Structure 1
Amino acid sequence: MSALLTSLLILSFFSTITSLSSKYYEKTCPNVESLVRKSVRDATTNDKKVPAALLRMHFHDCFIRGCDASVLLDSKGKNTAEKDGPPNVSLHAFFVIDNAKKAVESACPGIVSCADILALAARDAVVLSGGPSWVVPKGRKDGRTSKASETIQLPAPTFNISQLQQSFALRGLSLEDLVALSGGHTLGFSHCSSFKNRIHNFNATTDVDPSINPSFAASLKSTCQANNNEKNAGAPMDPSSTSFDNIYYKLIFQQKTLFSSDQALLDSPKTKRLATKLATSEDAFRKAFVKSMIKMSSITGGQEVRKKCNVVN
């Protein structure tokens, strides 16, 4: 019963239907895209890790209450916000969205939501990493609720294929979307805590996950020792972790991905077939990723346009 109630609760968060349009700000804030792009570009010039951070931030936002910028809200009083929930404590680059919001507010005060700015920034992050561009539908509203306790709903790096499928399905996302959006792991860095389960005390009979390449596991072990509590230790998601490409899918078949949830894409005939297609063709990956990003980012649920992204009006 608790699982059913949780599912119904999640679905209720996404019940608000907002009409999104590529031309939403055409008359009210025609320069919004260039203003956001400049903020992302300036930040990326100084820190190549920014694009991965923005893409992950957008994903983590959309999977809780829809793409309503609730992940940007600060904790206040007795309420601990999403950004301070366990899966989100490593999120960073919030300053990029704050800078973009300031620029947009100066040009068109009270018009553009933080949720739209985050969606645009995620697209620009992909483009600046050598990935595809797409037309971002706009018109999202910002949410007024942000709870750290709800971040447990995010798909975990330890999820198996059934858990992943259920998590995505609750948000109206298909297996095709699951495989395509997993490709976002082509960018970024992971801390040891997200994959230590695969290289230390995997189960009662083996120390290392048998689905991981032995030499790759050994290299990870040297970085993430069992008794090492170094918070910043970790590994890049793939060798070209600042470039948007399809190497991630190739690594799945080489058993050299970091997360259990990555390797799990081979545990279903359909997801394995889709991953094979995207590993074989970078063009197919780019097209699939764009399609699924537009679909995911169109999950809405907010109520207002915030004046500042970290606090409600």
Structure 2
Amino acid sequence: MPEVLDVATPAVTLRALSWGPEDAPIALCLHGFPDTAHGWRKIAPLLVDAGWRVVAPFMRGYAPSSLASDGSYHVGALMDDALRVLDAAGPTGRDVLIGHDWGAIAGAGLAAMPDSPFDKAVIMSVPPPATFRPLSRVPEPARLAGQLPLQLLRSWYIMYFQLPALPERSTNWVVPRLWRQWSPGYQADEDVRHVLDAISAPENWRAALAYYRAMMRNSKPPAQYAEMHSHWLSGLVLPTLYLHGTQDGCATSNYARWVGEVLPEGSQLALVDEAGHFLQLEQPEVVARHVIDFVGQAD
């Protein structure tokens, strides 16, 4: 069973799950939507066996973490939260970052910071935003454009979340539908229960929606996150492992062709067969082996 770490910040109290010895280098694992810190439960023991301490916070707005008192669900706020959890857990100077989905977006921002406290990053299932910036310089633009019609269909939920009122009443059907769509064939009942425990309350569901609304409406983050927020679209500077499931129903693994163009020196890229969007749950041994081969044994 994981231990519990509570981290109080000026805007939010974050609950994190922790596996492994407290003096080991940290693998800070950031989850996405619709998921929770429990989504790391299958690979955490494998990373602990390799000498790492796995620390996985529940994102702001996802119970048992609190709502954000400043109302910010911007990427810069998520990056700030991650650094505060690392600081509370006790950074060792040899720590790594692992991010999935929204955690991958925040992780890409942290991996783009010139003074990032992490040695390496692992980004999963969502390409770093810099992959497609600027579009005028993206190689094979016609091939990329060919991906867009299907991606628009897959991303229906993002536009749906921009509607007034209706999305707020959709928790109980949206969450299981996305798990079925994104990881076809995976038995997600336990994970869906964890997600509904975290965000089925109206105020928590509104917080989960706020992530997408802040991004799509391009709202400005509060001043305390502005500098950090400025990095999330920038090119990565940390050596980064990018992983994507070949059966991902959220974002096609074909994007790996363009991700490979923007990864910095010392990076790696791998596709995980027989895995959808939640590859760390569907193929935990394979994902853990990729991660450990890249970040190394910590002991």
User: What is the TM-score of this pair, normalised by structure 2?
Assistant: 0.30
User: What is the TM-score of this pair, normalised by structure 1?
Assistant: 0.29
Higher strand share: 2
Specify the structure having the higher radius of gyration (Cα): 1
Higher helix share: 1
Bigger RCO (CA 8 Å, 6+ sep): 1
